[in-house]
């Protein structure tokens, strides 16, 4: 039996009334990749922050390499050989890679020597682990995947033997994620211990040796990855059986509600992001747009919902055109029955500093239901918000709580509740379940299908292929700004994957 790299014994941590971690026991074997899964808010990140010295446990013991350890600050953790790659990178954006790597671990009071030492050390690490990155590049000019590599280098430069990664693939493209996994396997071969926090079960199955499941602050199970299944893990995470594929009947498509014709959109640099795209969405069907992030889906969504200027083409809503000059009045579009759940809920969908009930009417605040004379009808708004909270199971069930204090999944439910409850004719949803946990995904999918069954036209854009396949009645695949294929929901993952990679298109051109 390999010696444990880390043992956590009876860890407790509360934030006010919230018990984030209760009596956690966990043993992580040296030289393995250990996954920790759980829904948002299950306490995974808190537990790892305790291990990294960012928080102190209220009670409990940590042992590193068999020795009891007192970790009071990240400094102590670093000294014990623990490194962490945070979900939101802890990098100084306008510093170079080298400057970021040495920050806090400078070998000398003058930078010249520290940098020279770091440069040769970095070269060694790059050779050893295949972590190529230009040491003189400025962080903000690097793609996200490389920024993450810098975070890993930072930890290794500090001599980390145990590497904690918090939701590392959330920001990565599938190709970048694959590369990351190759790096992690290589690190494992070199004897490093890796702790991977995620809520993506597919990743757990693909890369970990052992997996622990957390639910509501407790550690509910630890399994050998080879001896468990996605279904079992999902069940453990939410405490009940989860439908990973939502049941749905045949679509009964009616008339065309939304017609996009020859739409072309350029981004701020003048690069064509959407290139002559045409499609229809009919009443009573869900049309899914699949594609690797960055192939024009975001720009297309923004153009259709009137936020971004289109260069040419037309979008008809119920047979009448939508203003595509980028100056469309969103209020008018809402009145015409177009509801939009934006991809980026933090910046576009919500005002995080507002209370929940204020966000639940945002954009509909002129509706006669919510106003009394020139004033907002606060009681009506709060009653309405409470209804939505009950109906969409938004937690915590407190409409006076600041929106920033809800978890990602619940924030998404707030936006969805707001848009769906207005009974729109056409619903456009960008990344319906980004950063949302398994239980909430199922719920959101069911609501979207219920919308369809009520005869609404639903357009879903998602980078999660599973989601597209499970929801859509028709799947359109976008690649390099064009729709390169249309398939039914029965299309195989492999077939769609090839389309998303633009393979078929290239073959056709040859």
Partner 1 sequence: MDLFNAIIQVLDSTIRLSVPLLLACLAGLYSERAGIFDIGLEGKMLVGAFAGAASASVFHSAYIGLGMAILISVAFALIHGFASITHRGNQIVSGVAINFIAAGSTIMLGQAWFQQGGRTPALASDERFGAIIWPGADAVRGVPILGPIYSELISGHSVLVYVAFLAVPFTWWVLFRTRFGLRMRAVGENPAAVDTAGISVAWLRYRALICTGVLTGIAGAYLSMVQNGGFVKDMTAGKGYIALAALIFAKWKPVNAMFACLLFGFLDALSIRLQGTPLPLIGKVPVQLMQALPYILTVILLAGFIGKAIPPRAGGVPYVKER
Which parts of this chain interact with partner 1 (CB under 8 A)? 15, 46, 52, 54, 73-75, 77-78, 84, 86, 88, 90-95, 99-100, 102-106, 108-112, 114, 154
| Minimum distance of partner 1 from residue 301's CB (angstroms) | 29
Nearer to partner 1, 14 or 222 (CB): 14
Nearer to partner 1 by Cβ, of 94 and 492: the residue is 94
At residue 209, φ and ψ (nearest 5 deg) are -95, -40
Residue 101 phi, psi dihedral angles, 5° rounding? -65, -40
CB 164 to partner 1: min, Å: 11
Contact predicate 155/183, CB 8 Å: no
State in angstroms the smallest separation of the CB of 114 from partner 1: 7
| Residue 89, burial from CB neighbour count under 10 angstroms (0-12, 13-18, 19+) | middle
Closer CB to partner 1, residue 83 or residue 424?
Answer: 83
Shortest Cβ distance from residue 362 to partner 1 (Å)? 25
Among 72, 57, 55, 51, smallest CA distance to 5 is for 51
Structure tokens at 160: 């980390």
Min CB(433)–partner 1 separation in Å: 23
Closest distance of CB 91 from partner 1, Å:
6
| In the complex, least distance from residue 49 CB atom to partner 1, rounded to whole angstroms | 9
Helix (H) or strand (E) holding 287: strand 285-290
How far is C-alpha 409 from the chain's CA centre?
A: 10
Would you say the C-alpha torsion 356, 362, 368, 372 has a positive or negative sign? positive
Q: Which C-beta is closer to partner 1: that of 111 or that of 206?
A: 111
Cβ neighbours, 10 Å, residue 363: 16
In angstroms, what is the minimal distance from the CB of 141 to partner 1? 15
Residue 51 CB, nearest approach to partner 1 (Å): 13
**Of 76 and 235, which CB lies nearer to partner 1 in the complex structure?**
76
**Count of CB atoms situated within 10 Å of the CB of 453:** 13
Please state the separation of Cα 473 from the chain's center in Å: 24
Which C-beta is closer to partner 1: that of 87 or that of 222?
87
Residue with tokens 């991977």: 196
Reading the block at residue 462, the tokens are 């998602």
b vs e for 380-406, b when ≥16 Cβ sit within 10 Å of the residue's Cβ? bbbebbbebbeebebeeebbeeebeeb
CB of 490 vs partner 1, minimal distance in Å: 44
Residue 153: HSE in the Cβ half-sphere, 13 Å Cα cutoff: 31
Q: For residue 467, what are the CA distances in angstroms to 233, 419, 460?
A: 18, 20, 9
Nearer to partner 1, 166 or 302 (CB): 166
Nearer to partner 1, 40 or 298 (CB): 40
Under 8 Å between Cβ of 263 and 278: yes
**Phi, psi values for residue 178, rounded to 5°:** -60, -45
Measured from the CB atom, is 1 or 17 closer to partner 1?
17
* Residue appearing with tokens 């960012």: 54
Contact (Cβ atoms closer than 8 angstroms) between residue 288 and residue 460: yes
For partner 1, the closer of residues 79 and 311 by Cβ is 79
DSSP state of 226: G
CA 397 – CA 408 distance, rounded (Å): 15
Measured CA to CA, the distance from residue 74 to residue 95 in angstroms comes to: 21
Q: Token pair for residue 323? A: 């203003």
Question: 9 forms bridges with which residues in the sheet?
Answer: 61
Nearer CB in complex with partner 1: 85/459? 85
84 vs 131, beta carbon nearer partner 1: 84
CB of 162 to partner 1, least distance (A): 15
For residue 211, list its beta bridge partners.
35, 223
Smallest gap from Cβ 410 to partner 1, in A, equals 15
């Amino acid at each position: 039996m390999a010696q444990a790299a880390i043992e956590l014994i009876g860890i407790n941590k509360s934030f006010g009334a919230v018990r984030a971690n209760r009596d956690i026991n966990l043993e992580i074997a040296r030289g393995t990749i250990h996954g920790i899964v759980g829904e948002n808010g299950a306490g995974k990140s808190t537990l790892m922050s305790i291990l990294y010295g960012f928080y102190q446990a209220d009670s409990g013991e940590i042992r590193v390499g068999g020795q009891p350890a007192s970790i009071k600050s990240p400094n102590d953790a670093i000294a014990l050989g623990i490194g962490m790659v945070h979900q939101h990178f802890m990098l100084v954006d306008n510093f170079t890679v080298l400057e970021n790597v040495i920050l806090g671990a400078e070998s000398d009071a003058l930078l010249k020597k520290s940098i020279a030492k770091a440069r040769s050390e970095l070269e060694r690490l790059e050779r050893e682990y295949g972590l190529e990155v230009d040491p003189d590049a400025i962080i903000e000019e690097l793609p996200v995947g490389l920024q993450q590599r810098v975070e890993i280098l930072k930890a290794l430069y500090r001599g980390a033997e145990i590497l904690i990664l918090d939701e590392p693939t959330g920001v990565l493209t599938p190709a970048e994620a694959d590369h990351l996994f190759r790096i992690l396997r290589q690190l494992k071969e070199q004897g490093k211990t890796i702790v991977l926090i995620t809520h993506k079960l597919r990743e757990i199955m693909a890369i970990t040796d052992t997996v622990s499941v957390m639910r509501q602050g407790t550690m509910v199970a630890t399994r050998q990855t080879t001896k468990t299944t996605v279904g079992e893990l999902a069940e453990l995470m939410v405490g009940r059986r989860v439908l990973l594929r939502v049941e749905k009947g045949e679509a009964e498509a009616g008339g065309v509600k939304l017609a996009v014709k020859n739409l072309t959109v350029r981004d701020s640099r003048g690069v064509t992001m959407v290139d002559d795209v045409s499609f229809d969405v009919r009443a009573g069907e869900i049309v899914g747009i699949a594609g690797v992030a960055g192939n024009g889906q975001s720009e297309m969504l923004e153009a259709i919902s009137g936020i971004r200027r289109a260069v040419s083409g037309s979008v008809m809503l119920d047979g009448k055109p939508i203003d595509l000059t980028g100056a469309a009045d969103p209020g008018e579009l809402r009145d015409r029955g177009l509801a939009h759940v934006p991809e980026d809920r933090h910046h576009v969908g919500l005002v995080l500093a507002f209370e929940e009930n204020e966000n639940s009417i945002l954009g509909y605040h002129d509706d006669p239901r919510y106003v009394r004379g020139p004033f907002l009808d606060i009681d009506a708004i709060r009653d309405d918000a409470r209804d939505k909270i009950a109906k969409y199971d938004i937690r915590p069930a407190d409409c006076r709580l600041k929106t920033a204090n809800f978890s990602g999944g619940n924030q998404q439910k707030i936006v969805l509740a707001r848009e769906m409850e207005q009974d729109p004719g056409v619903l456009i949803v960008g990344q319906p379940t980004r950063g949302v946990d398994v239980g909430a995904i199922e719920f959101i999918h069911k609501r979207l299908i219920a919308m369809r069954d009520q005869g609404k036209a639903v357009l879903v854009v998602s980078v999660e292929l599973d989601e597209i396949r499970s929801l859509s009645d028709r799947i359109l695949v976008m690649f390099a700004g064009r729709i390169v294929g249309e398939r039914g929901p029965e299309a195989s993952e492999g077939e769609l994957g090839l389309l998303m990679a633009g393979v078929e298109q290239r073959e056709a051109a040859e």
